[in-house]
Amino acid sequence: MDTKYIRNFSIVAHIDHGKSTLADRMLELTGTITAREAKEQLLDDMDIERERGITIKASAVTMHYEYEGHTYMLNLIDTPGHVDFHYEVSRALAACEGALLVVDASQGVEAQTVANAYLAVETGVEIMGVINKVDLPAAQPDVVAEEIEHVLGIRKNECFAISAKTGKGVRELLDAICELLPAPADRSDEPARALVFDSHSDPYRGVICYVRVFSGKLRVRQRMRLMHTGRSYLVTELGKFRPAMTPVEELGTGEVGYIVANIRDLADVHVGDTVTDDANPAQDPLKSYQPPMQMVFSDFYPGDNTEYSKLRAAFDKLALNDASFSFVPQNSPALGFGFRCGFLGLLHMEIIQERLERENDIDIVQTAPTVSYEVVMSDGQVRRIGSPSELPDRTHIEELREPFVRLEIITSTESIGGIMKLAEARRCKLLKTDYLNPTRVMMEYRAPLAEIVYDFYDQIKGISRGYATMDYELTDFEATNLVKIDILVNGQPVDALSIIVHRDNAEQRGRKLILKLRKAIPRHQFEIPLQVAIGGKIIARETVKAYRKDVTAKLYGGDVTRKMKVLKRQKEGKRRMKSIGSVQIPQKAFMSILDTSD
C-alpha cells in the first residue's frame, strides 16, 4: 500500500479515561469486527486485564477506513495508563507517527495525562487532544479544554469532543486522523528494517515478534536477520492483527504486523532489536529503546509445590513478553535458592506474581519489596544494590545514596492541607504549586522513592476522597543519613527481613516492626526471641511464646515431686528442641515489613 494512505497512531491517557473503549468503537466503525464479535475492551485479551479493568500490555490492531474516496490503513496501538507501565507507552510511541491524548471530560487533566503528553513530545510524535465522556452529566468539556491548553499547550479549539461509549464524534475523529496525522516516510526502496516492539512465546510456533516496518519490505519465505545477535531465520509466516492474527504475503514500509520464523531460543529475541533482510542487510540498526530502569526489587522463592527449574522456565517466558522485568539467581540461608527480581513499581510486581501463578501454575514465597540504592565505597567505586542484604560492611562504605523522584500530585484545593502534611511526614520537599483552575491544583515535590512507593498513593486517595492522582519520575540519587535494620529470629539474622531506613525513624520503625512480626509468626513448640539490631547493637526484643502442653494432666494425688519431675523433663525437651528447631516464617511476615501504619 502507498505509504501516504497509512496512519500509525497510539492512544495514550490516564487510567480509566476510556482508551480501550475508544479502540472498541473504532474497530466497530471501521468494520474490523462485526457486532457479533464485539465485546467491551476487546484488545485487553489477558484474563487479568479484564478482571482488573486495566490495560497491562500494549495491543496492536490494523483497520481499514474509507475517507474521501481512498482506503486508509490505520494501525492503532492501545497503551496502558498506569505509571508502572510507562515503559510500554514509550515502546508503543516509538512505533507511531501520531498519538491521541484522551482526557476525561468529568475528571480533567490528571497526573498520568501530563506524563504521557511529555513522553509523546520527547518521542516527536504529532499529538491530537481528545476530550472523552462528554455524555456524562458531570462532563465539563469547556473547562477541561481550558485545562488542556493551560497545562499541555494544545489549543482548546483543536480538541475533539467525543463519547467513546455511545460513539458520538468518533467518526469525525477517524476523519481527522486521516487528514491531520502524518503518514510514515516512504523508504520502500531502501533495505528492509523493522523494529521489534513486542514479542511472545507460542509453544508450537516459537517466538512471535511484533514489528513495525520502517523501510523496505518483508516477505514470506525470505531469510531475515536479527541485528542484535546476527542470527538469521527463514520467515514462515507474516501477518497483521485484525484484531486476530491474519496471515499476509508481505509487510511493506509503514505497516505493523507480526513475524513467525521458528525462533526457538527465547534469548535470541530482544525488544527494540532490528529485523533486516539477510541477503541485502541494512548498514545500521534502528534507534532502540532506552533500557527500562527497575525501581522496586523483591526476592521470589519456589513454594512447597514448585521446583526451582520450573520457576526458572516461567521467568524466561515472562521476560520475553515483558522487557521491563529482570531477574537474577539468589540464595538465602533462610529460604534456599530463588531469584532477585526487578520491577518498575508495585503494581507491576503484583501483575508478574499473578501471571506466574496463573499462567504457569506456580507457588511462590515472596519477600517484601525494596528500592535500589547506590553505595559509594571507600575506594571511590559506586555500586548499585537492590537489597539490604547486598549492603557491604559499614567500614567499606563512604556514603549511601537513595533514589529521589519528581512527584506530581493533582488534587482538589480542599485536600491540599492533608496531602502537604502527609508529604512532609514522608520527607518530601515542595517545589512548586500550579492552579489548573479555581478548584484543582498541581503540586510538584522532590521525594525519596522509598517513602512513596508502597502506601503513599493509597493514603492520598483517602485524604482526597478518591480525587487525587499522582505520577513520579526518577531524577537522581542523593546521599542521606540511612541505616540498615537487621531482624534476628531465634538469634539468626534473616536477610530477607532486613530494611534500609532513615536514621531519624530507625528506632521507632524497628520497634513497630517486631511487634507486627510477633503477631505474624505462628507459635512453635519452643520460645522464639525476635530482636532488632542497628549496626550490631540490639535495640528491641519481643518473644513469640511457646505452646504449653499440660503434661501434669494425667497425674493425680501423690507427692508434689512427681509433678516437678515431669515439668523438668518437659523443660529439658523444649531446650533441646530449640537448639535444633527451625522457625517457619509465613508469607504475611515478609509483607508486614511494608506496613508503616501504627
Where is the binding site for GTP, in residues? 16-21, 132-135
Task: Name the binding residues.
Answer: 16-21, 132-135
The three cell numbers of residue 109 are: 487533566
Asked if 295 and 453 count as a contact pair (C-beta separation under 8 A), the reply is yes
CA-nearest of 244, 243, 257 to 198 is 257
State the amino acid at position 191 in one-letter form: P
Cβ neighbours for 466, distance < 8 A, ≥ 6 positions apart: none
**DSSP string computed for 311-323:** HHHHHHHHHHH-T
Asked if 241 and 258 count as a contact pair (C-beta separation under 8 A), the reply is yes
Quick one: how many helices (H) and strands (E) in the chain?
14, 32
CA distance 39 to 49: 14
Q: How many CA atoms lie within 13 A of 474 on its CB side?
A: 19
CA distance 428 to 449: 10
Q: How far is CA 563 from CA 287, 558, 572, in A?
A: 82, 9, 15
Q: Starting from the edge strand earliest in sequence, which strands make up the sheet with 193-202, in order?
A: 232-234, 223-226, 274-277, 193-202, 206-215, 256-260, 237-241, 245-248
CA-nearest of 315, 225, 306, 330 to 273 is 225
Asked if 485 and 513 count as a contact pair (C-beta separation under 8 A), the reply is yes
Q: How far is CA 147 from CA 154, 160, 422, 439, 527, in A?
A: 9, 14, 26, 12, 62
CA distance 270 to 228: 8
